[in-house]
Amino acid sequence: QVQLVESGGGLVQPGGSLRLSCAASRIIFSRYIMGWYRQAPGKQRELVADISPGGTLNYPDSVKGRFTVSRDNAKNTAYLQMNSLKPEDTAVYYCKAVRPGYTYWGQGTQVTVSS
């Protein structure tokens, strides 16, 4: 079965950095849009970044300039580099793979930004 496994979350101080990884298995990774979403307690899940098979990037204004999404098709892995982290970035971060007719989610990784 398809698996998306996130890693790299943890506790970081404000202003710090983290790099999340999403390792995919049993999909043709290069055909999927890979997205990162987050969900804070009591809030809806929201898009953080995504990258198309061709490398087109998409970010909401809340993270633009601080977060960078990338992918390595040879390793079936997507990444989210998060810099200048703020307490409001605290959430569970999820990886999503999507192409027409197919959507898969990872189990999530906790990111906590606190001093």
- Per residue in 100-113, pLDDT (tens digit) is 999 999 999 999 99
Q: Which residues pair with 72 in a beta bridge?
A: 77
pLDDT in tens, 18-33: 999 999 999 999 999 9
From residue 102, how far is each of 9, 27, 40, 48, 115 by CA, in Å?
26, 10, 25, 20, 40
Summarised one tens digit per residue, pLDDT across range 81-90 is 999 999 999 9
Q: How confident is the model at residue 14 (pLDDT cuts 50, 70, 90)?
A: very high
